[in-house]
Amino acid sequence: MLRELKAHFRYRLDDVFSRSSLSHFALLVLLSLVVVLIGMSAYFFGLFSPENADVSGIESKIDHGLWDSLWWSLKHLIDPGFFEENYGATVPVAVISLLIAIMGMVIFGILIGFISTSMETRLAALKQGNSPVKETGHTLILGWSNKVVQILRLLGRTKSGSRVVILGRPEITEMQETLRAAGIPGPPLKLILRSGSSSNLLELKRVAFERASSIIVLAGWTRDADASGRDVEAIKTAMLLSSFPWAETRPVLVAEVNRKQNADIARIAGRNQISVVSSSEIIGKIIVQAARQKGLSQVYSEILSADGNSIRVKHEPSCIGKRYGDIQFGFTQAIPIGISWRQEADGAARYAAGLNPEPDYAIDPDDQLVLLCAAEGTPYDAAARPHVSKIARTEKYRKAPLNRILVLGFNDNVHDILREFDGHVAPGSHLHVVSGFDDEEVRRRLDRYATRSYRNIEISFSAGDTVSAGFLRSLEPAAYDCIITLADESNDDDPDARSIMVLLLLGDILKSAPGGPRAHVVSEIHDPRDRDLVARTAAQEIIVSPEIVSMQLTQISQQPVLESIYRELLSAGGTEICLKPASRYVEPGAPCSFRDLQYSAQSMMETALGISLAGRPEGHGVILNPDRGETWRFGADDRVVVLAQEIYD
What's CA 367's distance to the chain center, in Å? 32
Q: Is the CB of residue 261 less than 8 Å from the CB of residue 170?
A: no
Residue number, 468 or 645, with CB nearest to another protein: 645
- Asked if residue 289 binds another protein (CB under 8 A), the reply is no
DSSP alpha helix (H) spans, 132-183: 148-158, 172-181
Q: Is 322 among the residues that bind another protein (CB under 8 A)?
A: no
Site for another protein in 169-228 (CB under 8 A): none
Maximum CA extent, the chain: 128
What are the backbone angles phi and psi of residue 387, rounded to the nearest 5°?
-85, 135
| Residue 583 makes contact with another protein by CB under 8 A | no
Work out whether 357 is an interface residue with another protein (CB under 8 A): yes
Q: Mark residues 38-67: x for contact with another protein by CB under 8 A, - for none.
A: ------------------------------
Contact 208, 165 (CB under 8 A): yes
Q: Return the number of the residue (370 or 579) whose C-beta is nearest another protein.
A: 370
Residue 340 CB, nearest approach to another protein (Å): 10
Specify the stretch interacting with another protein by CB under 8 A; choose among 10-18, 32-40, 123-131, 573-581. 573-581
Rounded distance, CA 433 to CA 438, Å? 10
Q: How far apart are CA 275 and CA 458, in angstroms?
A: 34
Binding-site member from 45, 361, 454, 471 for another protein (CB under 8 A) = 361
The residue (of 360 and 376) whose beta carbon lies closer to another protein is 360
Cis omega (within 30 of 0) on the bond before 185? yes
On whether the CB atoms of residues 458 and 428 are closer than 8 A, the answer is yes
Distinct helix (H) and strand (E) counts, the chain: 20, 22
**Looking at 139, 214, 356, 466, which residue binds another protein (CB under 8 A)?**
356
Helical ranges in 530-649 per DSSP H: 531-535, 545-558, 562-570, 594-603
Decide whether 168 or 560 has the Cβ nearer to another protein. 560
Q: Is 381 in the site for another protein (CB under 8 A)?
A: no
333 forms part of the interface with another protein (CB under 8 A): no
Which C-beta is closer to another protein: that of 71 or that of 351?
351
Count Cα atoms within 13 angstroms, Cβ side, for 180: 7
Cβ nearer to another protein, comparing 108 with 341:
341
4 contacts another protein (rule: CB under 8 A): no
Q: On the CB side of 237, how many CA atoms lie within 13 Å of its CA?
A: 32
Interacting positions 599-628 with another protein (CB under 8 A): 605
567 binds another protein (CB under 8 A): yes
Return the number of the residue (130 or 571) whose C-beta is nearest another protein: 571
Q: Please, what is the minimum distance in Å from the beta carbon of residue 423 to another protein?
A: 10
Indicate whether 574 belongs to the interface with another protein (CB under 8 A): yes
Of 1 and 647, which has the nearer Cβ to another protein? Answer: 647
Handedness of CA 144, 150, 154, 157 (dihedral sign): positive
Alpha-carbon distance of 626 to 309, in angstroms, equals 10
Q: Which of residues 500-539 bind another protein (CB under 8 A)?
A: none
Is residue 132 within 8 A of residue 124, CB to CB? The reply is no
Which residues are 430's β-sheet partners? 404, 458
Stretch that binds another protein, among 56-64, 101-109, 585-593, 641-649 (CB under 8 A): 641-649
Is 294 in contact with 579 (CB distance < 8 Å)? yes
Q: Does 648 sit near another protein (CB under 8 A)? A: yes
460 binds another protein (CB under 8 A): no
Q: Which of 59, 358, 458, 494 binds another protein (CB under 8 A)?
A: 358
Choose, by CB under 8 A, the member of 66, 352, 400, 426 that binds another protein: 352
The residue within the footprint of another protein, chosen from 244, 341, 454, 471 (CB under 8 A), is: 341
Q: Which of 56, 131, 343, 631 binds another protein (CB under 8 A)?
A: 343
Q: How far is the CB of 647 from another protein (least distance, A)?
A: 5
How remote is the C-alpha of 16 from its chain's centroid?
45
Q: Nearer Cβ to another protein, position 224 or 360?
A: 360
Name residue 312's beta-bridge partners.
Answer: 371
Among 81, 137, 401, 573, binds another protein (CB under 8 A): 573
Q: Binding residue for another protein (CB under 8 A) from 554, 564, 612, 625?
A: 564
Calculate the alpha carbon distances from 335 to 196, 383, 606, 627, 643 in Å: 44, 17, 12, 11, 11
**Contact between 647 and another protein per CB under 8 A:** yes
For residue 549, state whether it binds another protein (rule: CB under 8 A): no
Query: Under a CB-based contact definition with an 8 Å cutoff, are residues 219 and 231 in contact?
Result: yes
C-beta of 189 vs 274, nearer to another protein: 274
Instruction: For 331-428, list the strands marked E by DSSP.
Output: 334-345, 348-355, 368-373, 404-408
What's the closest the beta carbon of residue 516 comes to another protein, in angstroms?
34
DSSP string over 486-523: ----SSSS-HHHHHHHHHHHHHHHHHTSTTS--SEEEE
Distance in angstroms (rounded) separating the CA atoms of residues 90 and 79: 21
> What's the min distance (Å) between Cβ of 487 and another protein?
31
Single residue of 360, 455, 617, 620 touching another protein by CB under 8 A: 360
Query: What residue ranges bind another protein (CB under 8 A)?
Result: 341, 343, 352-358, 360-361, 364, 564, 567-568, 571, 573-575, 605, 645-649
